[in-house]
Structure 1
Amino acid sequence: MKKKIIRLGLYFFIMILIIGSINFRVASSTKLIINNNFNNPMIESTNELRNIMLTGYWNPTGQMIAQFSDDSYLNPDGWKGANWEDWGFDIYSFFPKPGTYNGTFEVDYQNTWEDFWSITEEINPIAIISFGAGAGPWEIEYNARNLDNWVPDNVPPYQPTPCPPDDTKPAGYIRHSTLPVQEIADAVNDQTTVYAWVDWNGNPGAYLCEYMAYLGMWYQDIHNTTDDTYPCWSSGFIHVTSGLPLEDAIEATEITLREVIKYLLNLNSPPETPTITGPTNGNAGTSYTYTFNSVDPDDDDVYYYIKWGDGHTEVWEGPYVSGANALKQKQKILKVKKVIGEYLK
């Protein structure tokens, strides 16, 4: 059974020797602020959106994702990826300058390696969809190989470094797309005149397209765990024919995005915002018991992590049955006036 994780941060603020009121703030897709009497909750909005990363190489793949670039040179009309279509995800795209193909993800293995790991570290994508020009028309690649011999690029040393790129797997190891590949193909075929298909047995070509495909699938495998602060649940590569009209390519891109987002939303329902009960006032040096309770809509077990903020190292508490009370005792220390708790899904 897949475990659900609830993170609770109780941050202590060093104030004066007298303990004052204790306030809890619980935040998820909304923030619930509970006052001293645990009455009259107030709802505030939050901006805790996850990022989806798009990459492109040769035209039309850069042009068709340009609306999601925050680079004013590549996208002078302005970034359109903020909470795209109100799905709850920010979309960011990265691709080289059309024509010259330099800049981000230029046609060079070393540059692509550096840009990929730098960007993923910055935006922590929950999903990665990479595109490149190829057979198409909308060829959804299922495989990517950890090769030790690649088609040479245009700049010395012509091969990736390291080579093979993934030292955790042997040369020739095949990773697979974790995009909803058949759902994407069906949706593009149903809603456009673009022919979409899944290449279950082929490969993306041993050049920069396959290199990017492998990096994305590898990143997803590294971060495919609920223990990760920013898990990545889906990654894959799509080859697009260079002759595809830009309007059709943009439409197929947006359909692909919607299918990936629907897949992400259906993967796993997070636990509900927990209720936290316990005293809101107390005396220094006295232990108090707090009760945490959260219901998981999938009826999975629940874990809690409580960060008291006083230098004490905590561990994950659980598992607890969904809806069962979790009791935690904490002794107040001197100079603590206020405690604020924050819940993050």
Structure 2
Amino acid sequence: MYTKNILLIGYWPPTNIMLKQFSRRRIQNEGNYVGENWEGLGYNIFAFFPDFNDDDVFEYDRSIPEFPVGTGSFKIDYQDTFRDFVWATEYYKPCAIISFSRMGDWEEIVLEPGHMVCEEWAPDKTHPTQPSKSIPYWLNHYTGLGEAGTYLQGSLPRNKIVEAAVSTPELDGLRIWAAGTLDTTGDFLSNYIGALGARYKKDHGYSEPGYQCRVSGHVHVGGGTPVEKVKVFSEVALRETIGYIDNYLNSTWIYTFAIRLAQSNAPDAGTASKLIAKLYRDDYLISEKELDWADRGDFLMPGIEHLHVMSFGDRKRDPLSEYPSSNAPLGGIEFANGIHGHFRIELENPSNDIWRSDLIEILVKEKRQSLSSDGEVRWRTDRNFTRVYSNLGSRSLATDRDGFDSKETFLV
């Protein structure tokens, strides 16, 4: 399962300025956010970076850590970077992460191959001056980035990006290359943010429950490189990354859907009518179900949470799928382009008995291929649900009743 969200991160200029068009903050994008379905390629681009003063001097002296920290997201601080990275990945669940940082004052762009976990990192400005030891992803934790000396591989299509960039007229004369060693990765935030991205990608593969991340990588940008050039480069890198990802994002197969409803505690919140749930893939009606709460008769009781589970033992292929049936599981619903933006549930109350709700959640169990203990690749269904939609807020449905809608649609 995956979103088509791509996360971009910048730090010292020009790597913050070059990403302004992809920031959703009006104060940064000057009212011109272009990241939604960027260039019609089907991906949403979200950029985060700190802001600085015009007279700031961007130099780092390890012995005297006096440097501009910035304001806003991803300040030049390990703990701030850590917190912002965790928030951004939890919220956007990116399928790709590209981070950029400044290196020296010359005109040059270097695509890094990977990142080494340092025994001791270059100190930042505020205590604690070293990275945190544990990093949460949603409710799961693992111990840091690994032991000192752990190598975390980048996965950007670096050669394709370099080839496309050097063929771009606007980038003529700019040195752009893919490093073969770790000589330029450093031991400060450039290495740290790249390592965070590489570890996130490693822990969010296709065979793991939850959301996939297919690509991560870090790019060093010389501080003397003109902003317009690095802006063009960032767009080239995005196009090549999107083209690369398109070859690796699998169809999403959902075996089980669940709808969680938390009823309003108002006296008239419950209903004796069965709600009708319609499941759609794009404009195609997959299934229509009456939500029959067997443990409470057919009543949706006020002040109580209800969970309705629907599994699909028969196989429902997506007409847009390019995969042969021989590669498909025996059951489940296929989403060739992922479920986000392509799956919706419509709830209808066919009665004039008012139904009120405080919470709607949609949860799924995905079918995915993994290597079994006997060395065979097999389809398996996730043990636990993954929440793909949550909406907290009062809503009321009733049919043939003034002031009420009979149905409401929830798009994942």
TM-score normalised to structure 2 length? 0.57
Does the 8 Å CA contact 2:315/2:330 hold for their aligned counterparts?
no
| Matched ranges for 1:310-329 at <5 A | none
Higher normalized strand content (fraction of residues):
2
Match of 1:118 in 2: 87
| Matched ranges for 1:294-309 at <5 A | 294=317, 297-299=322-324, 300-302=327-329, 304-305=331-332
Match of 2:120 in 1: 149
Q: Residues of 1 paired with 2:18 and 2:198: CA distance?
A: 22
Q: Structure 1 stretch 195-204 or stretch 174-183: which is displaced more? A: 195-204
Which of 134, 137, 149 is equivalent to 1:172? 149
Which of 231, 241, 244 is equivalent to 2:212? 231
Q: Structure 1 stretch 270-279 or stretch 225-234: which is displaced more? A: 270-279
Rate the CA distance shift 1:195–1:168 in 2: closer, same or farther, 3 A.
closer
Does the 8 Å CA contact 2:132/2:144 hold for their aligned counterparts?
no
Q: Residues of 1 paired with 2:213 and 2:19: CA distance?
A: 20
Q: Residues of 1 paired with 2:108 and 2:162: CA distance?
A: 11
Equivalent pairs counted in the alignment come to: 270
Q: Residues of 2 paired with 1:233 and 1:152: CA distance?
A: 31
Q: Residues of 1 paired with 2:286 and 2:50: CA distance?
A: 53
Rate the CA distance shift 1:186–1:82 in 2: closer, same or farther, 3 A.
same
| Matched ranges for 1:93-112 at <5 A | 93-99=47-53, 101-112=70-81
Question: What is the RMSD computed on CA atoms of the aligned residues?
Answer: 3.8
Rate the CA distance shift 1:318–1:110 in 2: closer, same or farther, 3 A.
closer
Pair 1:134 & 2:108 matched: no
Rate the CA distance shift 1:57–1:318 in 2: closer, same or farther, 3 A.
closer
Rate the CA distance shift 1:303–1:146 in 2: closer, same or farther, 3 A.
farther
Secondary structure in 2 aligned to 1:239? Answer: strand
**How far apart are 1:167 and its partner, in Å?**
3.4
Q: Residues of 2 paired with 1:173 and 1:74: CA distance?
A: 36
Match of 1:185 in 2: 162
Secondary structure in 1 aligned to 2:39? Answer: helix
Q: Which ranges in structure 1 are unaligned for 5 or more consecutive residues?
A: 6-47, 307-312, 320-341
| Matched ranges for 1:1-345 at <5 A | 50-99=4-53, 101-134=70-103, 137-162=108-133, 167=144, 169-191=146-168, 192-193=171-172, 194-203=174-183, 204-268=185-249, 270=251, 291-294=314-317, 297-299=322-324, 300-302=327-329, 304-305=331-332
Rate the CA distance shift 1:247–1:73 in 2: closer, same or farther, 3 A.
same
1:85 maps to amino acid: E
**How far apart are 1:77 and its partner, in Å?**
2.9
Secondary structure in 1 aligned to 2:33? Answer: coil
Q: Residues of 2 paired with 1:161 and 1:218: CA distance?
A: 14
Does the 8 Å CA contact 2:97/2:217 hold for their aligned counterparts?
yes
Rate the CA distance shift 1:318–1:116 in 2: closer, same or farther, 3 A.
closer
Secondary structure in 1 aligned to 2:166? Answer: helix
Rate the CA distance shift 1:97–1:298 in 2: closer, same or farther, 3 A.
same
Q: Structure 1 stretch 134-143 or stretch 146-155: which is displaced more? A: 134-143
**How far apart are 1:139 and its partner, in Å?**
0.2
Rate the CA distance shift 1:279–1:258 in 2: closer, same or farther, 3 A.
closer
Secondary structure in 1 aligned to 2:213? Answer: coil
Secondary structure in 2 aligned to 1:156? Answer: coil
> Comparing both chains, which one has the higher relative contact order based on Cα–Cα distances under 8 Å and sequence gaps of 6 or more?
1
Q: Which ranges in structure 2 are unaligned for 5 or more consecutive residues?
A: 54-67, 136-141, 254-280, 295-311, 334-362, 370-409
Rate the CA distance shift 1:280–1:144 in 2: closer, same or farther, 3 A.
closer
- The superposition leaves residues 38-75 of structure 1 with CA deviations (integer Å, 9 ceiling, x where unpaired) of xxxxxxxxxx9621000000100000001000112222
2:20 maps to amino acid: A
**How far apart are 1:113 and its partner, in Å?**
0.6
Match of 2:264 in 1: none
Identity %: 29
Rate the CA distance shift 1:229–1:343 in 2: closer, same or farther, 3 A.
farther
- The superposition leaves residues 221-280 of structure 1 with CA deviations (integer Å, 9 ceiling, x where unpaired) of 111125443211000000001111111111111000000000111224537979999999
Does the 8 Å CA contact 1:68/1:80 hold for their aligned counterparts?
yes
Q: Residues of 2 paired with 1:303 and 1:167: CA distance?
A: 39
Secondary structure in 2 aligned to 1:67? Answer: helix
Does the 8 Å CA contact 2:49/2:73 hold for their aligned counterparts?
yes
Rate the CA distance shift 1:77–1:152 in 2: closer, same or farther, 3 A.
same
**How far apart are 1:318 and its partner, in Å?**
9.1
TM-score normalised to structure 1 length? 0.68
